[in-house]
Structure 1
Amino acid sequence: MHDRSMPGLPAFCEDPELGYRRSLTEFSTPLRLDESYRLAHLPLVAPDHPRVIARREDGFYEMGRHARVFSLVLPVEDEALRASPAFLALEDELKASPFAGKIAWEILPKRRDRLHATVCGSLGLGAPPAIPPQTREALSQIEPFAVELRGLFSGNVNRGRLYLAAYPEKRGDRNMLQAVQAAFGRTPGDLWLVGLYNLRDDLDARETAALAEIVSRWWNRPLLRLETTAFQLMGACDDLVLDGHVEAVLPLGREPTRP
């Protein structure tokens, strides 16, 4: 897929180093929306569905809403994504699929300017966190790098949400998204997902087989390559970031010294 012998082309982390295969939906039985999805997502896309979980016992979730949570995210431009012929081909297949009527297409325009992959979740609750000087210094030591979006991905958590998978550039033995996580003192992750589509209902056996076939055929196919120069501190009161707000932009690398 990637000719790493060609000079100037980035090398990317691949499946053996990441968690996408391990975290994939088990498609051997019809896909049923799981508890986490029914609590955090289904109330936002199908509030009258009989399997909605209206609230969590501790009161944190109430019909999909919660106190504002701040996280570090990798932003994705919708305009760039929709300029990708490969992505448009994938979406056309979803629109022609037997489960197309169960996708909450009306949610997409509401999230157009908030597409992202979470890199460090829950950095602050209620109020934005202070970013320590040592974290900013660590980010300044990381030069901009590439991330490639591939898809489609359906996980074993939040079953009902469909994503694009982010494959970070690898420099030497260094996974560059893990380097960003290390700047925040976080343990290294191994999957970063751009949530795009939400199901409004369970899938039957035929619909599940169709989804599994799309996921399999599009696995590892590049859709968009990002040049990552900055991350965002984003706050939101729901997991679809329908009311998401960018609190701060945190650039990578050092600004050039002016003469």
Structure 2
Amino acid sequence: MNDAVTFAAAVDQSMFCRDAELGYRRSLTDFSAPLLLDDSYRLAHLPLVAPEHPRVIARREGKFYEMGRHPRVFSLVLPVHDAALQTSAAFRALEEELRTAPFADKIAWEILPKRRDKLHATVCGSLGIEEPPAIAQATRDALAQIEPFAVELRGLFSGNVNRGRLYLAVYPEKRDGANMLQAVQGAFGRPPGDLWLVGLYNLRDDLDAAETAALADIVARWWDQPLLRLDVTALQVMSAGDDLVFDGAVEETLSLGA
């Protein structure tokens, strides 16, 4: 296993940030109406999973997407290894439930193998476009002051942006009152975020009312369920020319701690 992220030792769940401190509840899909793929998804994701779909947005003025592709973007990410997920009985149970859900045939299962070694949660997006970012020594020094920390993956999550993508939610450790992923963002001079998502599944079409209700039920029942705990010892600078990182590449690994 890549030493950037390893299994965490069993820890008290109270060490992780709570929902009240994060943005997941606020950002949840409104399931009161049938789930329709939103414009951001139809522009950035749908062309990659269902290019012949009549609601694909091939391009839009002022956006840099062209059938889901864009100039190479460099971001700081928290890597999540598929091999680790597959050792989790809870995760396997969640995925089996999705495979038998009423909307299962609308999930683009065929893309999962293409993304297996590229799963991640973005911590600082768009550090550079086309050219790799120059990471200041002050940033590297700040990262060296952040000791490795734990995160817990929970889910399933469906948001109110990129509606059509399904995620696992990342709950970071809270240490001495500090959200540790926000501490990493601070090292890069970024404002503190409050949600970090591991994109896993993509829909190929809208959901009808019954399918939406089934998804809402899965989201509700799995909301607080821990799927995997990880020790984060390093983060990665990853580059990609599309939002599903089909052509993603790790440009640099940045270790935490002295």
TM-score tier by shorter-chain length is: over 0.9
- Residue by residue over 1:59-101, the C-alpha shift from the partner in whole angstroms, topping out at 9 and shown as x without a partner, is 5100000000000000001000011000000000000100000
Matches within 5 A, 1:1-259: 11-58=15-62, 60-254=64-258
1:69 match: secondary structure: strand
Asked whether the 8 Å contact 1:160–1:199 carries over to 2, the reply is: yes
**Alpha-carbon distance in structure 1 between the residues aligned to 2:43 and 2:17:** 33
Amino acid at match of 1:40: A
Change (3 A) 1:8 1:24: closer
The alignment-based identity, stated in percent, is: 76
**Alpha-carbon distance in structure 1 between the residues aligned to 2:238 and 2:249:** 6
TM-score when normalising by structure 2: 0.95
1:113 match: secondary structure: coil
**Does 85-94 or 52-61 show the bigger shift?**
52-61
**Alpha-carbon distance in structure 2 between the residues aligned to 1:20 and 1:7:** 22
1:178 match: secondary structure: helix
1:207 match: secondary structure: helix
**Alpha-carbon distance in structure 2 between the residues aligned to 1:42 and 1:77:** 24
2:20 match: secondary structure: helix
Structure 2 alignment gaps of length 5 or more: 1-9
Asked whether the 8 Å contact 1:10–1:146 carries over to 2, the reply is: no
**Alpha-carbon distance in structure 1 between the residues aligned to 2:11 and 2:52:** 55
Q: Moved runs in structure 1, 4+ residues, more than 6 A?
A: 6-10
Amino acid at match of 2:237: L
Structure 1 alignment gaps of length 5 or more: 1-5, 255-259
**Alpha-carbon distance in structure 1 between the residues aligned to 2:217 and 2:12:** 34
**Alpha-carbon distance in structure 2 between the residues aligned to 1:100 and 1:144:** 37
Task: Give RMSD over aligned pairs.
Answer: 1.2
Q: How many residues align?
A: 249
- Residue by residue over 1:175-218, the C-alpha shift from the partner in whole angstroms, topping out at 9 and shown as x without a partner, is 00000000000000000000000000000000000000000000
- Residue by residue over 1:138-195, the C-alpha shift from the partner in whole angstroms, topping out at 9 and shown as x without a partner, is 0000000000000000000000000000000000210000000000000000000000
2:78 match: secondary structure: strand
**How much has 1:58 moved relative to structure 2?**
2.8
1:37 match: secondary structure: helix
**Alpha-carbon distance in structure 2 between the residues aligned to 1:114 and 1:52:** 24
1:121 match: secondary structure: strand
Asked whether the 8 Å contact 1:98–1:210 carries over to 2, the reply is: yes
